[in-house]
Structure 1
Amino acid sequence: MKVKYDREVDILYIRLTDNQIEESDEDRPGVVIDYDANGMMVGIEIMDASRRMDRPASIELEVA
């Protein structure tokens, strides 16, 4: 998994797999989910991230 926050455009992108993106759907305004050819989720794009969450540039990882 890769997480990237672009301050210039205020977009947070969470890449879940390296599969090729075949389709993208705007699940809710400003939230786009990318899917591969099999319908599996590939990534999540959050536009205007600084308005939707606290500190989008801060990443905390927890592995159980």
Structure 2
Amino acid sequence: MKVIIDKEADAPIKDSEEIKPGVILDYDDENNLVGIEILNISRRVPSTVLTSVQLETA
């Protein structure tokens, strides 16, 4: 899994939408996607994938 954080896009959340059970998208004031929340990710993704997370900041 690869996670990218863009510090310039770090914005307050205005609205959220649950697109499927446990998967939530967060939007800012201009309706830009600023966050993705995945609940119970350890039940959705194999542990081998979760142990090899790459993090990149822009």
Q: For residues 18 and 40 of structure 1, what CA distance do their matches in structure 2 show?
A: 11
Is 1:59 the counterpart of 2:50 in the alignment? no
Structure 1 runs, 4 residues or longer, greater than 6 Å off: none
CA positional deviation for 1:54: 1.7
1:41 to 24, 33, 38: 33
CA RMSD of aligned residues (A): 2.1
Q: Structure 1, unaligned stretches of length 5 or more?
A: 3-16
If you compute each CA radius of gyration, which structure gives the higher value, 1 or 2?
Answer: 2
The alignment-based identity, stated in percent, is: 44
Ranges in structure 2 where 5+ consecutive residues have no aligned partner: none
Q: How far apart are 1:57 and its partner, in Å?
A: 4.5
TM-score (norm 2): 0.69
Write 1 or 2 for the structure with the bigger share of helix. Answer: 2
